[in-house]
Amino acid sequence: MTQSFDIDSFIRSRKQTRAVSDLLKAQAADYLTTLAPLVRPQPLFGEYLQGAPKGSGRETQHHFKEFRTLFDEHAARRPFNLINELEVPLNIISSTPDLFPLEYDHALPDGSTIRVTSPARWVVGYTSFDLGRFRQVIQDPNRSGSELHRFVVHYLMLFHCLSRAPGLGRLLKGLRFPVSFQQLDDFGNLPFCVISSPVTSTLPADEVIRHSTEIAGNDSFEELIAEDAIDAMQDDLRERLMRALREATSR
């Protein structure tokens, strides 16, 4: 998008973006809630989780060893610098998935940095472990080590459960809300689960971002969803069926 700044058209784009984003997020959350039992940690970890029933000894031991390796790989590194070790059984306070805004930094030509929010992608976390609060705890010099430890454990637990359920990824992709794993600004190399929507959002020209943030008096901005992005939505199943028809008739 390279449009010049026009307040009326920008406000219209913001309203359209918010309406579409709210609908998309509600749909993604509904899918995630329905599929949540498939990524519950209790069946994977059994007695290694506090209050969970005993599971298959070899399998639960395997998952715990993998998780401990994952924790050791990330917890002691910046920006967490945790020295706490995992205590068994693990105390997983919440295993209900939730969606949080995906944010990243965007540098403007004048050297300033804008915090950008995506209206079409969301970070998957557990209820009661808000991603914004996680970021605040990391940046707080007087932070609670135990609270930070809980955040790291819960986000790594969700990553472990989702990454060990490839069938769930294929299912969400078929529903047009694919899952990916990526690192986020402010969280070092910690892997996060991100759900994307079938509609793409983009940033306008830097000049538009600069005008918007100056008028709003803040350093945050939300990507915009254009009408042509909805027109450009692809239906993977339709494309596969059409390709099958073409291949069948060319034999």
Rounded Cα gap, residues 167 and 185, in angstroms: 28
Task: Find the farthest-apart pair of alpha carbons in the chain and give their distance in angstroms, rounded.
Answer: 70
- CA–CA separation, 118 vs 101, rounded Å? 7
Copy the structure tokens of residue 188: 């070092």
Strand 220-222 to 192-196 pairing: unpaired
Give the whole-angstrom CA distance, residue 44 versus residue 95. Answer: 12
Q: What's the CA gap between 115 and 179, in Å, rounded? A: 23
Place of tokens 């929507």: 197
158-178 pLDDT tens trace: 999 999 998 999 999 999 999
| pLDDT of 84 | 83
CB 152 within 8 A of CB 80: yes
- Smallest CA-to-CA distance from 4 within 200, 194, 208 is with 208
SS3 30: helix
Q: In percent, how much of the chain has pLDDT > 90?
A: 74
Residues 162 and 195 sit within 8 Å (Cβ to Cβ): no
What pLDDT, on a 0 to 100 scale, did the predictor assign at position 1?
A: 43
Contact present, 47 and 105 (Cβ < 8 Å): no
Average pLDDT, the chain: 92
Strand segments, DSSP code E, in 139-191 are 179-182
Average pLDDT per consecutive 10 residues, the chain (251 residues; last block may be shorter): 69 93 97 93 91 80 95 95 90 93 95 96 96 96 94 97 92 94 96 96 93 90 92 81 87 70
